[in-house]
């Protein structure tokens, strides 16, 4: 019998299990694909506080703090983040940063190009720069987290799929696994991302979410550039540096019926436009060479907000889902906060807008 069973070995599940072990809970983490074997490993790896919602800003600031605290610097670099666009398009983000007390710089086009000569920025555009933001390599982060979970005594069950929750009298009693075994626990955290809807359906619970497949690319530029991670709200692209490469793409995706972890190449138009707009914004030392492309399944809600809190009608089961393309940034904080709510009775009223009640039928 476990104190806590965490379903899902992505960024949310890992930080949930890590915090639980830190607070002395006997914890098991279950994922068929293993730690970071699913969507988290296919993330573009950008951590930035430059978001439109104050709650999202706070969550990402907390996630950055957690990554820096628990994970070795081999998995992340503090690159800072530059958001480029017309002033009116960046105003909401600046207001959210201000409400959260996070310092930022506003730069005109000449100041951007003086500080980072590789950029080409039109006079009508400005930049908002925040210093502590990160470029993260998800696969390295996953290896670091797996080793840390083992070190902290979390039992990892990998290669076996969680199929459904066994429910009785408003409580989840156990999770059934694909090998016909079951794991009993006092509390459960459902952090299975694009696979959550299926597990809930098998448990006779329906949730209103939909799936998109997001695309990202790794381009080799031939040498390292001393630039921050950046987004271009004018051309709708985003990129982060890592060594001689840039990782990112456009804000485009495709609807999907099921999680897509295939190695199929993304649509050629997506890559073509990503390259076109990158070269319009950045002077590269040589033509970029595509060295990797990623398909990442993402869960969305109709209102665009996460699902975070207790599953309706279950007193001991929590869900973290609907994180969209920002799962890596929101995930550490949400996992950490959920365990604090379970163990330390911390209130989640601040996050009532994310309440699961709105998406369950």
User: What is the per-residue DSSP string for 58-72?
Assistant: HHHHHHHHHHHHHS-
Looking at every residue in the chain, the average pLDDT score rounds to 96
DSSP calls for 82-144:
EEEE-HHHHHHHHHHHHHTT---EEEEHHHHHHH-TTB---TT-EEEEESS-EEE-HHHHHHH
Mean pLDDT to the nearest integer, 347-358 = 94
pLDDT digit string, tens, across residues 187-236: 999 999 999 999 999 999 999 999 999 999 999 999 999 999 999 999 99
246 compared with 266, residue with greater pLDDT: 246
Q: Where is 19: in which H helix or E strand?
A: helix 11-22
- Whole-prediction pTM: 0.96
Banded pLDDT at 158 (limits 50, 70, 90): very high
Q: At residue 73, does pLDDT exceed 90?
A: no
Topology, domain 1-43+138-209+301-361: FAD/NAD(P)-binding domain (3.50.50)
Domain boundary assignment for the chain? 1-43+138-209+301-361
d(CA 211, CA 192): 13
Name the phi and psi angles at 268, rounded to 5.
-60, -35
Please report how the helices 11-22 and 327-343 are oriented relative to each other, as an axis angle in degrees rounded to 10: 30
Q: What is the pLDDT of residue 72?
A: 86
Name the phi and psi angles at 186, rounded to 5.
-80, -35
pLDDT digit string, tens, across residues 100-114: 999 999 999 999 999
Mean pLDDT to the nearest integer, 254-274 = 92
361 compared with 104, residue with greater pLDDT: 104
């Amino acid at each position: 019998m476990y104190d806590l069973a965490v379903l899902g070995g992505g960024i949310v599940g890992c930080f949930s299990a890590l915090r639980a072990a830190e607070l002395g809970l006997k914890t098991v983490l279950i994922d068929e694909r293993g730690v970071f074997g699913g969507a988290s490993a296919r993330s573009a790896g950008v951590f930035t506080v430059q978001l439109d919602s104050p709650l999202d800003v706070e969550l990402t600031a907390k996630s950055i703090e957690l990554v820096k605290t628990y994970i070795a610097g081999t998995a992340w670099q503090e690159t800072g983040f530059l958001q480029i666009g017309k002033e009116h398009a960046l105003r909401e983000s600046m207001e959210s940063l201000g409400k959260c007390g996070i310092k930022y710089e506003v730069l005109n086009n000449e100041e951007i190009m003086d500080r980072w000569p590789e950029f080409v920025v039109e006079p009508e555009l400005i930049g908002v720069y925040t210093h502590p933001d990160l470029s993260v390599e998800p696969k390295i982060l996953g290896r670091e987290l797996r080793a840390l979970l083992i070190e902290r005594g979390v039992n990892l069950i990998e290669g076996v799929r969680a199929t459904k929750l066994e429910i009785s009298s408003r409580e989840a009693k156990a999770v059934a696994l694909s090998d016909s075994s079951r794991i009993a626990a006092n509390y459960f955290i459902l952090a299975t991302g694009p696979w959550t809807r299926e597990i809930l359906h098998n448990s006779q619970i329906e949730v209103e979410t939909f799936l998109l497949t997001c695309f990202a690319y790794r381009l080799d530029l031939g040498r390292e550039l001393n630039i921050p991670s950046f987004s271009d709200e004018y051309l709708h692209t985003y990129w982060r540096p890592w060594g001689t490469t840039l990782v990112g793409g456009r804000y485009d995706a495709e609807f999907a019926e099921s999680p897509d972890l295939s190695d199929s190449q993304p649509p050629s138009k997506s890559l073509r436009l990503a390259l076109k707009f990158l070269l319009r914004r950045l002077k590269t030392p040589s033509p970029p060479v595509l060295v990797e492309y990623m398909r990442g399944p993402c869960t969305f809600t109709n209102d665009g907000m996460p699902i975070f809190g207790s599953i309706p009608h279950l007193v001991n089961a929590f869900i973290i889902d609907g994180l969209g393309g920002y799962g890596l940034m929101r995930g550490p904080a949400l996992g950490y906060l959920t365990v604090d709510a379970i163990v330390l009775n911390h209130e989640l009223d601040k996050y009532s807008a994310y309440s699961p009640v709105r998406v369950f039928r």
